[in-house]
């Protein structure tokens, strides 16, 4: 048992944190050895299983990740950009695999993650599910096959507590579409249309975001031309798909060379 990879979960009280804790605890391939929350959180000092309203798991929630990371094989992190970058400093020092499902990074965050990846394995993806990563590959291939007579629109829907838009998955799909077209997404992106916007720019990639209720995650990639549309769709109904993917990434990263990877690498779908 002790030979199984030890996993630390950050943001333990969050929706994904709790799902990750359940997934790792139930896995025959890994051990839950740590749960981290921000200083002052009500769960600090409690057994994480009891704090979640279930049986004790023998893991106490901590606000000091340093010792936990030093004894871990991997950290799984679905928190916030600043917290993730701070954690990346620790995982880089400890040479621990850092699986990142956090979204909403800016360029300064990404530069710091790039620096951390020179010392440790980072697996970062806007979405950890197998289905979404297959959708990403399909989006790239369809964009390669169709010219700019087909407008590309990406529509995503999430629960009403999500704080960033477009979602990390939507941006991942946009990057795939832009890559298929041989352009940079930043040069062709259209977001937050409102008022008199003028006609749609040929070749641009549009984004729309819906927020409501408890929607786990829905993404449509629409290729629309005169007289026809192609719609690629993924619907997630259970956060467990993301947690299982994140655990797969944490196990896959063991023994890899330092660097930045994504779920396309983990799932062996990279056609480069």
Catalytically active residues, by annotation: 158, 162
- Residue in the block written with tokens 């197998």: 130
Q: Which residues pair with 147 in a beta bridge?
A: none
Length of the chain: 272
Alpha-carbon distance of 61 to 79, in angstroms, equals 15
Closest CA to 122 of 155, 154, 99: 99
Q: Which residues pair with 236 in a beta bridge?
A: 217
80's tokens: 């916030």
**Rounded to 5°, angle at Cα 79 from 42 and 10:** 60
Rg for the chain, CA atoms, rounded: 19
């Amino acid at each position: 048992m002790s030979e199984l990879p030890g996993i630390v979960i950050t943001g333990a009280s969050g929706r994904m944190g709790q799902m990750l804790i359940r997934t790792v605890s139930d896995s025959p391939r890994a051990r839950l050895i740590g749960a981290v929350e921000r200083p002052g959180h009500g769960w600090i000092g409690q057994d994480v299983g009891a704090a979640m309203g279930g049986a004790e798991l023998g893991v106490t929630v901590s606000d000091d990740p340093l010792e936990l990371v030093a004894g871990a094989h991997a950290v799984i992190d679905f928190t916030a950009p600043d917290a993730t970058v701070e954690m990346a400093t620790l995982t880089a020092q400890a040479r621990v695999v850092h699986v990142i499902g956090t979204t909403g990074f800016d360029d300064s965050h990404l530069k710091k993650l790039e620096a951390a990846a020179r010392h440790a394995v980072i697996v970062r993806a806007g979405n950890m599910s197998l289905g979404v990563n297959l959708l990403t590959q399909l989006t790239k291939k369809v964009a390669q096959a169709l010219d700019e007579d087909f407008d590309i629109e990406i529509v995503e829907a999430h629960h009403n507590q999500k704080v960033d838009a477009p979602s990390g998955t939507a941006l991942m799909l946009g990057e795939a579409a832009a890559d298929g077209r041989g352009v940079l997404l930043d040069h062709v992106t259209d977001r937050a249309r409102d008022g008199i916007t003028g006609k749609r720019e040929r070749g641009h990639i549009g984004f729309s975001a819906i927020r409501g209720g408890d929607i786990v995650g829905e993404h449509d990639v629409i290729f629309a031309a005169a007289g026809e549309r192609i719609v690629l769709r993924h619907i997630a109904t259970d956060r467990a798909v993301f947690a299982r993917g994140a655990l797969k990434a944490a196990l896959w990263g063991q023994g890899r060379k330092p660097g930045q990877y994504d779920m396309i690498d983990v799932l062996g779908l990279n056609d480069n």
